[in-house]
Amino acid sequence: MGFYDLSKEARNQLVEKINRDIALDLTSNNTEHIIKYFSDEDTYIRKTGYLAIGKIFYSKPELQNKIRSVLKTLLGSDIDKVKQTVVNAAGEIGKFHFDKVQHFFDTGLFDEHHSVRNAVIGSVKKMGEKNPIPVLAWAKTYLKHPDKEVRREICHGIELRGRTHPQDILPLLKELEFDDTRRVSDTLVHVLGQIAYKNGCLKTVVTHLNTWENKPLVQKALDEIVDVHDRYKKFAVLTQQEAVDYINENYIT
């Protein structure tokens, strides 16, 4: 039976049990429960497990070194779900203490399994939203990496910060404007669209795009921005026509 097949009361009881079991492991030099929950087939069980690690890390400072040690060991697991959940747990810690978990992302970014790499992207998103300065500085170091998938994943990972603070990620995105890999440039165009439809963001994005030199890519980005204002019209501040008018008036061709 899956997590959301349970009643609300039963789910709450299970969450409390997972928290107790993981805390017990950490105080008794054991990993039996942690591995059990980290490898569970149910996404929400695994999520409860990595959220428990984050809660314990912040509420019990005396266990912080133990937690990092356990996570480091489990990152070497041969079970993909365990490694994925380890990276997600590190992401909870990295929201406020990125320096203590950076190496998990340096390793996870190159894992052979896509679920682990995707956990890095997800963690960069949530960490970048809460703790942008060190996370974006780290991300910048990979923007010119020879592996195109690394460049694409980093571009995708910094998107969430850009939705509310596009000025923070636009200089990083500009590093990719002449990337000749289609998957990277497509992701770049997608991200530019995603960071341009909320309050005040279109002006910031268009102003920055005026400094870009790759005009064909910029045109694709502007087309995507216009399209996004229709696809997300329930959430966009401007109508699609207002976005078109703004671009026509403010983008220097």
The percent of residues above 70 in pLDDT, for the chain, comes to 100
pLDDT at 224 over 80: yes
pLDDT at 67 over 80: yes
User: Are 154 and 142 within 8 A, CB to CB?
Assistant: yes
pLDDT value at position 12? 95
- The structure's pTM equals 0.91
Give how far Cα 193 sits from Cα of 27, 52, 233, Å: 47, 35, 13
- As given in the structure block, the two tokens for residue 121 are 């992207």
* Euclidean distance between CA atoms 182 and 105, whole angstroms: 24
Mean pLDDT in residue range 71-94: 98
Give the ranges where the chain is alpha helix by DSSP (H): 8-27, 32-38, 43-59, 64-74, 80-94, 102-108, 114-130, 132-140, 148-157, 159-164, 166-174, 182-194, 201-209, 215-231, 240-250
Instruction: Work out the pLDDT band at 253, boundaries 50, 70, 90.
Output: confident
Mean pLDDT in residue range 40-60: 97
pLDDT at 52 over 80: yes
pLDDT at 24 over 80: yes
pLDDT value at position 228? 98
* Euclidean distance between CA atoms 46 and 88, whole angstroms: 9
Look over the chain and give the mean of its residue pLDDT values, rounded to a whole number: 97
pLDDT value at position 1? 66
Query: Using one digit for the tens of pLDDT, what is the confidence trace for 110-152?
Result: 999 999 999 999 999 999 999 999 999 999 999 999 999 999 9
pLDDT value at position 2? 87
